[in-house]
Chains A and B, each alone.
Chain A
Amino acid sequence: MSKLIFNRRGLIKSTAAVGAGLAMPTIFSRNAWAYTNEPKGDTVTLGFNVPQTGPYADEGADELLAQKLAVEHLNGEGDGGCLNTFTSKALKGNGILGKKVAYVTGDTQTKSDAARASAKSMIEKDGAVMINGGSSSGVAVAVQGLCQEAGVIFMAGLTHANDTTGKDRKANGFRHFFNAYMSAAALAPVLEKEMGSDRRAYHLTADYNWGWTQQESIAASTEAMGWETVNNVLTPLASTDFSSYITPVLNSGADVLVLNHYGGNMVNSLSNAIQFDLLNKQVNGKDFKIVVPLYSELMAAGAGDNIKGVLGSMNYNWQLDNEGSKQFVKSFGEKYGKPPSNSAQTCYAQVLLYADACERAGTFNPCGVVEALEGFDFDGLGNGKTSYRKEDHQCFKDVLVVRGAENPTTAYDTLEIVEITPTEQVTYAPDHPLFGGPEATLGTCNSGA
């Protein structure tokens, strides 16, 4: 190949050409959409972004099942599920706004990066108007930020940290799940009733964002009723053996152990605590107790017999006795042969809520949907009376306090409901200091136009 000779003139010319090339996309940028991914055909696409690999893969799988069920019900297939019990009657079982509901799925891998990549491909490639699901608060916050920028609606899945609707709240994002503050508020009275008000608590806390917010919330609620927090030990997230953290508990004079752990961490730390026979010890003349503030069915299954008698809180449990819940458990059970989990119900409800909001707003435009969902009160999706607060897009509903059952009859009733804590008791001000204080704002809704 002949040598190219560079001279000033040539250089300027080529620079100009490159510059023009770079500027090209902006000249033609932004097209005829009124908002991001406005559905123009006869279908509308929803994006179901859940962990399919990694530590929360089981929860992700359950979420997917529930979301598929929701799509069936929206399209008028199956038995209609909670469309029958939902107090808002806008949904007709003919899709959303007459368009058939299609969906795409992706794998978050429980990593913020992968989750964002997957959500982006749904938005950029598949034209999804809404992203639903996921596990872990880090992922929820990351994807929520992305959806805000892109101009689509985000419905968080399993996310329990205060930050999701606290300091990281976004106008385009909604959370159906409860949060650490609510867990603490619901647990405190039950703990007081069962254990008295002069307990000494020792916290083991997973050393990351969610762990801290939960520890903070639990400590605040229990101290308010007279408990003393003896110590809070942060444990690395990757720990699998907690024996070395359990030994000091016995010597600390504490008589309650609070495990601010989730998933595999909780299974291991609880098992270690049981191996040390903590539950049969007497300290300060009282029986030693263990509390696991956030429970899930999968953790209960993982911990097996160890959870017997251990108290915790949940967002939803299939044993809940209301019309919506019964209907949902029936539909889910008939289709998949098992009762739905906490995360399944959350994601199912969110899909229906989104669809309903579109119907009521008469558009898929995110800003219309946001308006329809803000301050929306309803019943019949399984949690009893529920409302979405305008100020922070957090959902408010009853919180369940549960206990590991002493004599479970099947693999699915390992947890029993101790108390249904009414909404008023877990409600807080939107500018609560644990939720980012007065600086935290939703910003304005972004439709991507």
Chain B
Amino acid sequence: MLKLDKKDTTLFLVVIAMTLLAPFIMNPFPTDSGLAQFNAGYPDLMQRFAIFGIFAIGFNILFGLTGYLSFGHAAFLGVGSYAAVWMFKLLSFNILPAIFLAVLVAAIFSLAIGFVCLRRSGIYFSILTLAFAQMSFAMAYSVLSNPSFNLTNGETGLQVYADDPQILKGSGPDATHLFGLEMRNTFTLDVGAWAFQFNLGFYICAMFLILAFYISLRIFRSPFGLILRAIKTNQTRLNFTGTNSRPYTLAAFVISGMYAGLAGGLMAAMDPLAGAERMQWTASGEVVLMTILGGAGTLLGPILGAGFIKYFENIFSKINDSVLQSWFSFMPDGLSDFFVSIVHPFVGKGWHLTLGLLFMLVVTFLPGGLVEGGQKIWSRLRNKDKDGGAKSTATTPAE
């Protein structure tokens, strides 16, 4: 189907099912139970899963395939967001022109940056991209937000004001929408003790995620993808065969920049505000972590990694002492205090610590990321059933 072989089709269908059924999958615990704390099935977080999934998939096309580690990818996400919000300010709250311009601007921006940075490889490339991204951040944070020429609105973040032109708005809605359907529309389905939220914005993001995944799948399986892998394996040898690798790396760079722009545009479409910190180096580092955590060079890895990190950021950071107290309240006083004090450093403001520990564990024991973990479990299960050794699944790492 869709020019995919059987294994890829299965993988693609799994991704489609996972994204479309996310409101159920993310909400396994009844609303009133203590475990509801761990539910992630509310619109904002699901949107973030999808958006950062797109961002990481795009990053993986560059890093996973060519091995070029860009440390400045957040810059493209940022310009995408700014472009989208400007569309909201100038035209209307319709998300289509915004997303279109976001991708376009990110493409142009990444073409310019890629053209310069790709003259070097390895660590020099990483440092160059980092420098450009920090430059963009500084520009957005202060230089381009001075009162006489305010392009980014600095620290406060670019947002839509009531006195903006919005020439196409007419009597349209005052929130981001797709031809009148507002992104924030949510339908809550109450089934027994569960409340599942179906949010239009999330489904828009999910559609883009599926599309992004499909394109990435096709790139991975194409001759173009093969050359990209060749660049990662041994660029010098590739050059000796008479292939000029620069256009290929540049193309990969621009494509992944466009993915980032799409993610940025979608972020603005879900929440019409663009802040400079989206371009900061921590944001660039985050997408590297997502990709490595999930499994660089695998198809599914980046999505898993993105989900993993966003889950920790949004769910673990909200577990505070009073929640802990309620968990351990069944124990005698001294014992519950003891357990609370043990768990305390790892949740709430300590979510970075937990994430860091898990990252270390994954990198040490599963260099192929979460996907490798999944494969190991899968092959173990298989070996129990029949002795047909571990088959390579569709998600083998690039190397």
Contact = CB atoms under 8 A, between A and B. Distances in A.
A141 B203 contact: no
Interface of B: 1-2, 6, 9-10, 39, 42-45, 48, 138, 141-142, 145-147, 153-157, 159, 162-163, 175, 181-182, 184-188, 197-200, 203, 267, 271, 273, 275, 277-278, 313-314, 317-318, 320, 322, 348-349, 351-352
Q: Among B1, B200, B273, B349, find the residue whose CB has the most chain A CB atoms closer than 10 A.
A: B349
Interface of A: 1, 3-4, 21-31, 52-53, 57, 61, 64, 68, 103-107, 111-114, 116-118, 120-121, 124-125, 136-138, 141-142, 145-146, 149, 163, 168, 207-210, 212, 234, 236-238, 439, 441, 443
A1 B155 CA distance: 53
Contact of A25 (B1, B145, B159, B198): B198
Contacts of A125: 39, 42, 45
A118 B317 contact: yes
Nearest to A104: B318
A207 B146 CA distance: 9
B200 A22 contact: yes
A208 B186 contact: no
Contacts of B320: 64, 104-105
Given A25-B186, A29-B186, A120-B44, A112 B318 contact: no
Nearest to A23: B181
A207 B203 CA distance: 39
Contact of A117 (B44, B184, B198, B203): B44
Contacts, number: 142
A31 B190 CA distance: 12
**Closest 6 interchain pairs by CB?**
A52-B349, A138-B155, A112-B275, A120-B44, A207-B142, A25-B187
B44 A209 contact: no
Contacts of B45: 117, 121, 125
B42 A138 contact: no
Contacts of A236: 138, 142
Nearest to A18: B207
Contacts of B146: 212
27 contacts: A21-B203, A22-B200, A23-B181, A25-B187, A26-B185, A30-B185, A103-B322, A106-B317, A111-B275, A111-B277, A112-B155, A112-B157, A112-B273, A113-B267, A116-B271, A116-B273, A121-B318, A125-B39, A125-B45, A141-B157, A142-B157, A149-B184, A168-B156, A208-B142, A209-B156, A237-B141, A441-B162
Nearest to A51: B349
B181 A26 contact: yes
Contact of B154 (A30, A145, A208): A208
A124 B42 contact: yes
A47 to B, nearest CB: 10
A21 B206 CA distance: 13
